[in-house]
Structure 1
Amino acid sequence: MAKRNAENISLGDVLKDFIQSNRLEKGLNKVSAREAWNEMMGTAISNYTTDVKLDGDTLYVQLSSSVLREELSYGREKIIKMLNEEMGKDLIKKLVLR
């Protein structure tokens, strides 16, 4: 029977180590960016969103409405700030609306 480690390790620390050792952080960031977009923008804008993709520090958002794309382009900096706050990390530096 294996002996237990006398040191107590929190579950959060174990999960962080697992994610880093298996290089899963990049994929999880992509999922959290997509979820943050849908959460922060609400259902009205999410209905016009066809694709959300995180590539490096740039978030690409495909919209089906050119009018909505133009309106959102005026508030890019605010959207980036809100999304980073929602995810809890400074992950997005640039927002590209297509």
Structure 2
Amino acid sequence: MRKSNDQTLKDVLKEFVEQKKFKTRLSAKKLEALWHELFGALAGQYTEKVVYYNEIMTVHLSSSSLRKELMLNKPLILTQLNSRLKDQQVRDIEFR
């Protein structure tokens, strides 16, 4: 006789998403989308890559002057990002 599986599809998918490796990738994609949403055309034009690992967001930029400007506004940027995020936090931002 076969055992019945009482787990719903929603629960199975939630477990899958909560796996460490997949959750990190999903978080990185959410952060990248949020970065482009907050900083619009300016970010899109000069942002090469956004990486998220161990609560640190690294933004690779092609403009050194924009990099300096963002470094000066780092506390404000962190506040804006963390206020929009529900299930994760960005502890620090690095601009490269």
Normalised to the residue count of structure 2, the TM-score between the two structures is: 0.78
The offset of 1:87, in angstroms, is 2.5
| Matches of 2:87 and 2:20, distance apart in 1 | 20
Read off the aligned partner of 2:87 and give its amino acid letter: K
**3-state secondary structure, aligned to 2:70:** helix
The offset of 1:46, in angstroms, is 1.8
Q: After superposition, give the CA deviation of every residue in 1:10-53 in whole Å (9 maximum; x if it has no partner).
A: x5x56433312585211111111111111111112221111111
What's the counterpart of residue 26 of structure 1?
A: 24
What's the counterpart of residue 40 of structure 2?
A: 42
The answer as to whether partners of 2:24 and 2:52 remain within 8 angstroms in 1 is no
| Matches of 1:35 and 1:53, distance apart in 2 | 12
Higher fraction of helix: 2
**3-state secondary structure, aligned to 2:87:** coil
The counterpart of 2:87, out of the listed 82, 86, 89, is 89
The offset of 1:86, in angstroms, is 2.2
Query: What value does the CA root-mean-square deviation take over the aligned residues?
Result: 2.4
In structure 1, runs of 5+ residues without a counterpart are none
The offset of 1:55, in angstroms, is 1.5
Read off the aligned partner of 2:92 and give its amino acid letter: K
What's the counterpart of residue 58 of structure 1?
A: 56
**3-state secondary structure, aligned to 1:24:** helix
| Matches of 2:44 and 2:72, distance apart in 1 | 18
Read off the aligned partner of 1:55 and give its amino acid letter: Y
In structure 2, runs of 5+ residues without a counterpart are none
What's the counterpart of residue 75 of structure 2?
A: 77
Read off the aligned partner of 2:67 and give its amino acid letter: R
Moved more, 40-49 or 17-26: 17-26
